[in-house]
Amino acid sequence: MGPIEQADIWLFRLLNGHQACPAADDLMLFLTNAGLSLHLLFLAATFMIVRRGKDGLFILILAAIAVGIADFAASGIMKPLFHRVRPCFALEGVRLLVAQSHSWSFASSHAANAAAVATTVWIFFRGGAPVDRAYVLLMAAYGLLVAFSRIYVGVHYPGDVLGGIAIGIASASLVYTVAAWTVKRFVHGAAMRNTGSWP
């Protein structure tokens, strides 16, 4: 066992057991269960559309694509590739708060998906009005709490969560880059050609 894995296990035990607070159990269970917190994502999506109209719908579609890529990268590529056993099955004395199937641990798809949404929101709303910047902070906080909840409930190491966050950020950045290039190349390009200003 290398020093990085040892540090990962030490930090997991610190966050899962020693720093656990029974009063926070309900909040962590709420955040880690996508079905329970689905209405929060609905409100977040509604905010996009209310603030940006048709552009907000476009942003929502990009966020959904980013989540799809992040989820596939974490669950469909990284987990089968690394075959890391979840801490609740590999370690003794884990404080496990949820039923968990024997799927692989690295990387956390919950963290990847939440980071993909938060990154998309940051890209499009960070330079807006104060209410937009507040929205960015709320979504970032939500994403971080969702990621932390996976450690707290005993199903992921901190390294799994950090890997998932990196995947989510990369996925959202890739989707935005491709979308921006496509819009500039085809939509704006067609408009300039139609007005006769295209070289």
pTM of the model: 0.89
Amino acid at 115: A
Q: Is residue 91 part of a domain?
A: yes
3-state secondary structure (DSSP) of residue 91: coil
Q: What is the pLDDT of residues 149-177, one digit of tens each?
A: 999 999 999 999 999 999 999 999 999 99
Using alpha carbons, select from 102, 103, 109 the residue that is nearest to residue 80. Answer: 103
What's the pLDDT at 199?
38
Task: Label residue 198 by pLDDT band (50, 70, 90).
Answer: very low
Chain centroid to Cα 52, Å, comes to 22
Q: Is residue 166 part of a domain?
A: yes
Q: Is residue 180 part of a domain?
A: no
Q: Is residue 90 part of a domain?
A: yes
Q: For residue 2, how many C-alpha atoms fall within 13 Å in the half-sphere facing its CB?
A: 2
Amino acid at 40: L
Q: Is residue 108 part of a domain?
A: yes
Give the residue numbers spanning the domain of 63: 24-173
Domain count along the chain: 1
Q: Is residue 8 part of a domain?
A: no
Task: Label residue 189 by pLDDT band (50, 70, 90).
Answer: low
What's the pLDDT at 119?
97
pLDDT at 190 over 90: no
Contact call for residues 63 and 116 (beta carbons, < 8 A) = yes
